[in-house]
Amino acid sequence: MNYQKIIDETYVDILSSGNPGKVATYIPELGGVNPDQFGVHLITVNNENYSAGDSETPFSIQSIAKVFSLAMAYKHLGAKLWDRVDVEPSGNPFNSLVQLEHDEGIPRNPMINAGAIVICDILTTLLDEPKRDFLEFVRQLSGNNSINYDRNVAESEDATGFRNAALANFIRSFGNIKNDIDVVLDFYFHLCSLSMTCRELAETFVFLANNGRTLFGDRRVLTPSETKRINAIMLTCGFYDEAGEFTYRVGLPGKSGVGGGIAAVQPLSYSIAIWSPSLNAHGNSVRGFEFLERFTTRTGESIF
Ligand code: GLN
C-alpha cells in the first residue's frame, strides 16, 4: 500500500475543497489558533512513517487525552473500572449534563467530559502525583520525554470551565467523585492541555494498533483483549453524538478533540493523526473527518 501517495492525493483534495467550520473559542487560548493549519502523520506498526502539511506543529490535543487516561486507569483497575463509568454511547454533546441525573452520576462512557472527570478522580486516588505520573505514562507511550502540558491552555480552561465544574459537582452529589473537586478539575484541565504534533500523537497512539505494545522500547501497556476494548469504546463513543457518523464514514476507531485533532487506528496496521482546527457543530475537525473518509475509501482498508 502506497500510503504516502494516498496521503498526498487526499491532502491536496481536501485543501482545494475549502475550510468550513470554526475554531473553538469557549477556551479563549484556543480561539487564537490559525484555522488554516492542517497536518497529517501516519505510522505503521513496523515504524514506517508518512506525513503531509503541518505535521510537526504542536497543537492542543484536548479530549484525545481521554484515551490515555482511560488506558492508564484500566491498566490499574481492570474491569472494576466499569463500576464507576459505563461503556455506552451517549448520543449527546461531549459536555452534556442531562443523562447524569437519570444515570445517578455514572457517566455513559470515558470519552465524554463527565466520564473523563470520573477517570481523573480515580487516577487522583491511585497515583502519588497525578499530573506528574500521568505525564510520565504518556511519555512512555510515545517514547518521547519532551511531551508536556501547555500551562496557558490549562489556565485558560480553568478560568472558563464552569460547565466542567458543574459536571464534577453534580457527579460528586451522587458520590461518584471521592477527591477534592478543585484537585480533580486541575488534573482534568492539564490532561486536556497536552500539546503534541501529529507525528507525536500518531506515535503515542500506535500501541492501540499494535495489540497494546508501544513501538518504543517494545513495552506492553495493555493486553490484546484490553486493547480491543479501548478501541471498541473509541469506535462507539469517540466522537460523542457523531460517533455513528464517524464510524459510518470512516470505519476506524478514533478520538477527536476540540483543538481540531483526530487520532485513529487500523488495528494491526497503523495509527494516523490529523490536525485541522476548524470544527463542526459537534466539536469535531471538519477537514480531519473529511480527510479520513477519503483516506479509508482510497486505501480500501477499514475495520469492516
Ligand atoms: N477540554 C475540553 C473540555 O473539557 C475538552 C473537550 C473536547 O475536546 N471535546 O471542554
Taking residues 253-277, what's their average pLDDT? 98
Ligand 1: distance of its center to the CA of 63 in Å? 5
Q: How many helices (H) and strands (E) does the chain have?
A: 13, 8
- Walk across the sheet containing 254-256 and list its strands: 49-53, 39-44, 270-275, 261-266, 254-256
Q: What is the mean pLDDT of the chain?
A: 97
- Is the minimum distance from the CB of 269 to ligand 1 under 6 angstroms? no
Distances (CA, A) of 101 to 162, 172, 178, 240, 282: 18, 12, 18, 18, 22
Query: Residue 13 corresponds to which cell in the numbers above?
Result: 483534495
Q: Which residues contact 55 (CB under 8 A, 6 or more apart)?
A: 39, 40, 41, 197, 198, 199
| Structure letter (DSSP) for residue 104 | T
Residue pLDDT, tens place only, 34-88: 999 999 999 999 999 999 999 999 999 999 999 999 999 999 999 999 999 999 9
Residue nearest to atom 6 of ligand 1 (CA): 63
- Is the minimum distance from the CB of 157 to ligand 1 under 6 angstroms? yes
Contact (Cβ atoms closer than 8 angstroms) between residue 201 and residue 166: no
- Is the minimum distance from the CB of 164 to ligand 1 under 6 angstroms? yes
Active site members: 63, 66, 188, 240, 258
**β 148-149/59-60 pair status:** unpaired
Euclidean distance between CA atoms 105 and 237, whole angstroms: 18
Residue pLDDT, tens place only, 189-225: 999 999 999 999 999 999 999 999 999 887 999 999 9
- Is the minimum distance from the CB of 195 to ligand 1 under 6 angstroms? no
Residue pLDDT, tens place only, 130-153: 999 999 999 999 999 999 999 999
Query: How deeply is 186 buried, as exposed, middle or buried, from its count of CB atoms within 10 A (0-12, 13-18, 19+)?
Result: middle
pTM for the complete prediction?
A: 0.98
Euclidean distance between CA atoms 234 and 184, whole angstroms: 23
Domains of the chain plus CATH, in order, are: 3-299 (3.40.710.10)
